[in-house]
Amino acid sequence: MLKVSIIIPVYNVEKYLPRCLDSACAQTLRDIEIICINDGSTDNSGKILRDYAAKDARLKVISQKNGGYGKAVNAGLKAASGEYVAILESDDWADSEMYETLYNLAAAQNLDVVKADYYRYWSNGRNKIVKIGANNYNQVFQLSPQEYVGKIWGSIWSALYRRKFLLEHDIWINETAGASYQDTAFIFKTNICAQRIYLLEKAFLHYRQDNLQSSVKNPNKIFCLDAEYDELDRYLENHDLSQWQNLAMLRRCEGVFWNMNRLTPEGRRTYITQQKDYLLGLLANKNLALPQKRVKKLRLLQFSEKLFYLSWLWRDIKKKLKEKI
Pair (165, 22) in one structural domain = yes
The pLDDT score that the predictor gives to residue 219 is 56
Bigger pLDDT: 148 vs 137: 137
Q: With beta carbons less than 8 A apart as the criterion, state whether 176 and 70 touch.
A: yes
pLDDT of residue 67: 93
Number of neighbours of residue 46 by Cβ within 10 angstroms: 18
Q: pLDDT tens digit string along 69-103? A: 999 999 999 999 999 999 999 999 999 999 999 99
Q: How far apart are CA 307 and CA 300, in angstroms?
A: 7
pLDDT digits (tens, 9 = 90+) for 7-62: 999 999 999 999 999 999 999 999 999 999 999 999 999 999 999 999 999 999 99
- Whichever domain contains 192, its CATH number is 3.90.550.10
Q: Is 259 found in the same domain as 237?
A: yes
Structural domain of residue 253, as residue ranges? Answer: 222-324
Residues 174, 268, single domain; the answer is no
Pair (259, 141) in one structural domain? no
Is 150 a residue whose pLDDT tops 60?
no
More confident residue, 237 or 316: 237
pLDDT band at 297 (very low <50, low <70, confident <90, very high): very high
Does residue 33 sit in the same domain as residue 58?
yes
Number of neighbours of residue 73 by Cβ within 10 angstroms: 27
163 and 200 co-located in one domain: yes
CA atoms within 13 A on the CB side of 3: 16
Confidence check: pLDDT of 304 > 60? yes
- The answer on 184 and 72 residing in a single domain is yes
Q: Are residues 190 and 246 in the same domain?
A: no
Which residue among 164, 186, 216 closes a domain?
216
Express each pLDDT in 267-291 by its tens digit: 899 899 999 999 999 999 988 889 8
Q: What is the pLDDT of residue 155?
A: 79
How many structural domains comprise the chain? 2
Instruction: Give the residue from 162, 193, 216 where a domain finishes.
Output: 216
| Least confident residue range of 68-77, 109-118, 194-203, 212-221 | 212-221
Q: What pLDDT is attached to residue 178?
A: 65
Q: Which residues have a Cβ under 8 Å from the Cβ of 315 and sit 6 or more positions away?
A: 261
Assign 325 a pLDDT band (cuts: 50, 70, 90): low
Q: Where does a domain end: 156, 191, 216?
A: 216
Query: Looking at residues 144-148, what average pLDDT do you find?
Result: 76
Both 153 and 279 in one domain: the answer is no
| Residues 6+ away with beta carbon under 8 Å from 142 | 194, 195, 196, 197
Residue 213: what pLDDT?
A: 59
List all residues 6 or more positions away from 296 whose beta carbon is below 8 Å from its beta carbon. Answer: none
Residues 226, 210 share a domain: no
* pLDDT beyond 90 at 201: yes
Domain co-membership, 34 together with 175? yes
CA R_g for the chain: 20
- Between CA 85 and CA 202 the distance in angstroms is 19
